[in-house]
Amino acid sequence: MLRSLLVANRGEIARRIIRTARRLQIRTIAVYSEADAALPFVVEADEAVLIGPASPAQSYRNTEAILAAAKATGAEAIHPGYGFLSENAAFASAVEENGLIWVGPGPDAITAMGDKINARNLMAAAGVPVAPGTTDPARTADEALEAASGIGFPVMVKAAAGGGGMGMAVANDADGLRAEYDKVRGFAERMFGDGSVLIERYFPRVRHIEVQILGLADGRVIALGERECSVQRRNQKLAEETPSPALTPAQRADLLAAAVRAGEAVGYRNAGTVECLFDPAGGEFFFLEMNTRLQVEHPVTEAVFGVDLVEEQLRIASGLEPAFDPAALTVTGHAIELRVNAEDPKRFLPGPGAITTWVEPSGDGVRVDAGYAAGTTVTPNYDSLMAKLIVHGADRADALAKLRAAVAGFEVVGPKVNLPFFAELLDNAEFTSGDYDTGIVGRMREPKKG
């Protein structure tokens, strides 16, 4: 097992990684920006290194500063968490070139899956279902229109290098496509340095379901169930659960098998997630993208399988066998996660601020992964995620009951917080029935008639 680990991230995921590393007696090194000096993860690491000012470009995306910190502290490996540099193939290569161990998939896999068009084509060749769409970038609005005419409106206009729900728009007709194409292309050039755009069939009523995979040290790729991720605002997830209420056993088996084929197609190692769209009407699923890192929502998988995914990442990076028997994996109960964000619960606009009160819920089957505490401040420099509230119940009804009590017992004063939205969601008949899709939040926010 590794002896020392630098965590190239912040907030709740840095604390999460540090917690497992401490249990495994691995020395941990945190890196932090000036804005994060008072956050819990800085204190909880065995050693902490200031790497720059608040701006992510000058701190958490500053590869030179992170590598220098690793060298100065004698770190053996780097865990990137999620976001920031976690899916940056150049950084992964630089880590390995500096004689360090990268806790994640190899640079080749990151590169292969980082471009959505290339990923679609690879998956199609591997026999993984993909939605109708372009196999090459649409270089102009006219090319986009030509593609859409073959696919049929409505279509999704997507940045090929995008991720995290960014760089996506729906076009319902030719005029809308021209407008959205220019917007997405411009956004992609600014945000990702790559203006490539793909056109894909858009499903008005669809569910977003993903599969957790692990590429083991011995070369095997296995699947640890699926996660339902259809509660979203602006194509970004707010709540996740497992098992998905939407799938039949046969559909689940097909989905997991396809995800394993996806991992095998790129020689995948370490933790990754194969994201798919599921059309409930037709009972079909289509490959969306692969996230070559640990997901925000990994705790629900841990809850139902009894597996520590961060430990498994560290074991794979160390060349060790898994701590569990892959042939004996079984799902126990039901788990749901809510992303507690510093944002307005109505319009979901960021609402940073100083935290004066922070009271976490507790109890049987309740877990909170938090990046903040009372006396700390949510700044506008980073993502609005403050904590993840996870519950594990005997079944979905039990999990929902526990979650209602946990939401009621979670108190945050200072910044804006979306907990009132979750109380509303947990009282929503569509969600509680399990028969919902990615449009649920929009429908909840529609003006009430009469």
- Give me the catalytic one of 201, 207, 293, 339: 293
Helix (H) / strand (E) containing 148: helix 141-151
CA 447 to chain CA centroid, nearest Å: 30
Three-class secondary structure of residue 83 per DSSP: coil
Token pair belonging to 375 = 């006396």
Active site residue 293: yes
Token pair belonging to 158 = 């997507």
Report d(CA 194, CA 51) in Å as an integer.
Answer: 28
Residue (of 278, 304, 267, 279) closest to 106 by Cα position: 267
Q: How many CA atoms lie within 13 A of 298 on its CB side?
A: 26
Report d(CA 337, CA 446) in Å as an integer.
Answer: 24
- What sign does the dihedral 432-435-437-441 (CA atoms) show? negative
- Give the position of tokens 């669809």: 206
Please report the DSSP string for 225-254 in residue order.
EEEEEEEEETTEEEEEEES-TT--HHHHHH
Q: Looking at the annotation, which residues are catalytic? A: 293
